[in-house]
């Protein structure tokens, strides 16, 4: 059977969008990963009909793409016949064809549609064979991929899966910006870096943000988030609504803003800042995720949305510029940290500044083992200087 449709060669990996990691940065030790949840695989808004892209998610090489009808797909980048990456082959907008023996797969289901070598003497039914495909949804410009527990097999009932994460928006019109950076550390270090209140004055020193001299004592209230908030399977904790740090210049632009920060397993930090000014709702929201690429490396994605000055041209580029600086400072610090972590040293977590990190580790253990209590039985107050 000849190839009748035009097949596009499958694209090679995509470069991270903004913050490039030093190629010499070697990762530290691995961490256990949480399977059975949704992770942002890549930006889907850049994936046009007929396009494909490769990425790595929780150690799996993945092939993502968009069919001619607009449907996204996410497959394991591996032919079930002899293991060659499917990305070595072709995609014609309908089916993915393996480079080695030309097997064709419908990429959303993974079902094999054709084995060119079969003759009328063969009784093998190609459609009984499946390549590995994963549930995928588009939200906030991401392709969110559900990575099932190891050995769980194909997901048959997608309606039983947890809800796909989404950035909260508070008005109809808003702007967004996205940033991404690779980190040469395991997901645990990426996440505890994300919730670490004490590094700000040292890592993020900048005239436009704040200086180390402005360090002062803070008291913040935290409360537990149970398993069913944020769409199920995601216990976490919330920094209770508070007026944000008055020493941060960008916050002064708003009236009396109220900030809420949620951390939810496996990897999500939601921050919302909402204010009322002259009867109008002004808001900024962000969803930051730290996604395991492999057991010892991860990637941070920051997605911001706001309605403050959304009519002003150039604001998204400005947000991206300063955001990239900010994320770049974290990234640079982690590149340096990875040099130390390579010898797998013993480390410590101190009270109260590292308490959120302790909660994260307890919640993660609880999720992995299915045993144990939420580390926060009631609201608590933490104190630290930053
Ligand atoms: S290895 Fe893919 S068709 Fe044979
Ligand atoms: Fe930081």
CATH number of the domain residue 266 falls in: 3.90.380.10
Residue whose Cα lies nearest atom 1 of ligand 1: it is: 82
**Closest C-alpha among 187, 140, 133, 135 to residue 162:** 135
Compute, in angstroms, the gap from residue 83 CA to the centroid of ligand 1. 7
Compute, in angstroms, the gap from residue 312 CA to the centroid of ligand 1. 52
Compute, in angstroms, the gap from residue 375 CA to the centroid of ligand 2. 24
User: Is the CB of 129 inside a 6 Å radius of any atom of ligand 1?
Assistant: no
Choose which residue among 10, 84, 115, 116 to substitute to test ligand 1 binding: the one with the highest number of ligand atoms within 8 A of its C-beta.
84
Residue % of the chain over a pLDDT of 70: 88
**Residue 263 in contact with residue 4, Cβ under 8 Å?**
no
In angstroms, how far is the first alpha carbon of the chain from the final one?
68
Residues 268-311 pLDDT 10s: 999 999 988 778 888 999 999 999 999 999 999 999 999 987 77
Q: Which residues pair with 91 in a beta bridge?
A: 8, 96
Q: Which residues surround ligand 2, an ion (CB under 5 A)?
A: 330
Q: Are residues 135 and 232 in the same domain?
A: no
Residues 228-268 pLDDT 10s: 776 656 799 999 887 656 655 555 666 678 899 999 999 99
CATH number of the domain residue 73 falls in: 2.102.10.10
Compute, in angstroms, the gap from residue 100 CA to the centroid of ligand 1. 5
Confidence of residue 227 (pLDDT cuts 50, 70, 90): confident
Counting ligands in written order, the one closest to the CA of 99 is 1
Q: What is the DSSP string of 275-336?
A: EEETTEEEEEEEEEEEEESSSS-EEEEEEEEE-TTTTSTTHHHHHHHHHHHHHHHHHHHHHH
Range of the domain at 328: 175-385
Q: Are residues 243 and 359 in the same domain?
A: yes
Provide the 8-state DSSP code for 121: T
Assigned domain for 3 exists: no
Q: Are residues 155 and 181 in the same domain?
A: no
99, 130, 160 - which closes a domain: 160
- Pick 229 or 155 by higher pLDDT: 155
Assigned domain for 188 exists: yes
Q: Name the average pLDDT for the chain.
A: 88
User: Is the CB of 98 inside a 6 Å radius of any atom of ligand 1?
Assistant: yes
- Give the C-alpha separation, 271 to 261, whole Å: 4
Q: What is the pLDDT of residue 79?
A: 98
Average pLDDT, integer, range 149-175: 91
| Spatial CB neighbours of 123, under 8 Å, sequence gap ≥ 6 | none
């Amino acid at each position: 059977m000849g190839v009748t449709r035009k097949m596009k060669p499958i694209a090679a990996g995509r470069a991270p969008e903004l913050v490039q990691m030093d190629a010499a940065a070697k990762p530290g030790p691995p961490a256990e990963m949480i399977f059975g949840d949704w992770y942002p695989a890549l930006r889907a808004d850049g994936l046009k009909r007929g396009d494909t892209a490769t990425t790595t998610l929780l150690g799996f090489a993945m092939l993502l793409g968009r069919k001619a009808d607009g449907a996204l797909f996410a497959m394991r980048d591996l032919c079930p016949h002899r293991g060659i990456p499917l990305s070595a082959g072709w995609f014609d907008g309908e089916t993915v064809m393996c480079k080695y023996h030309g097997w064709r797969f419908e990429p959303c289901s993974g079902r094999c549609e054709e084995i060119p070598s079969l003759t009328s003497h063969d009784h093998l039914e190609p459609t009984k064979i499946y390549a590995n495909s994963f549930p995928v949804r588009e939200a906030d410009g991401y392709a969110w991929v559900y990575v099932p527990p190891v050995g769980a097999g194909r997901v048959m009932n997608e309606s039983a899966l947890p809800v796909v994460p989404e950035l909260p928006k508070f008005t109809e019109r808003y702007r967004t910006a996205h940033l991404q950076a690779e980190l040469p550390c395991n997901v645990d270090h990426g996440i505890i870096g994300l919730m670490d209140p004490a590094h700000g004055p040292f890592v993020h020193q900048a005239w436009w943000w704040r200086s180390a001299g402005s360090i002062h004592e803070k008291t913040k209230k935290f409360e537990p988030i149970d398993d069913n908030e944020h769409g199920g399977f995601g216990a976490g904790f919330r920094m209770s609504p508070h007026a944000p740090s008055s020493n941060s210049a960008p916050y002064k632009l708003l009236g009396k803003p109220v900030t809420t920060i949620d951390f939810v397993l496996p990897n999500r930090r939601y921050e919302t800042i909402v204010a009322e000014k002259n009867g109008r709702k002004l808001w900024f929201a962000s969803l930051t995720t730290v996604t395991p690429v492999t057991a010892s490396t991860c990637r941070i994605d920051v997605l911001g949305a706001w309605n403050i000055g959304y009519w002003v041209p150039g604001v998204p580029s400005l947000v991206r510029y300063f955001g990239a600086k900010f994320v770049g400072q974290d990234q640079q610090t982690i590149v340096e940290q990875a040099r130390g972590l390579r010898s797998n040293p013993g480390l410590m977590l101190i009270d109260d500044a590292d308490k959120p990190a302790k909660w994260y580790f307890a919640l993660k253990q609880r999720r992995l083992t299915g045993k144990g209590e939420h580390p926060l039985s009631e609201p608590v107050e933490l104190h630290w200087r930053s």
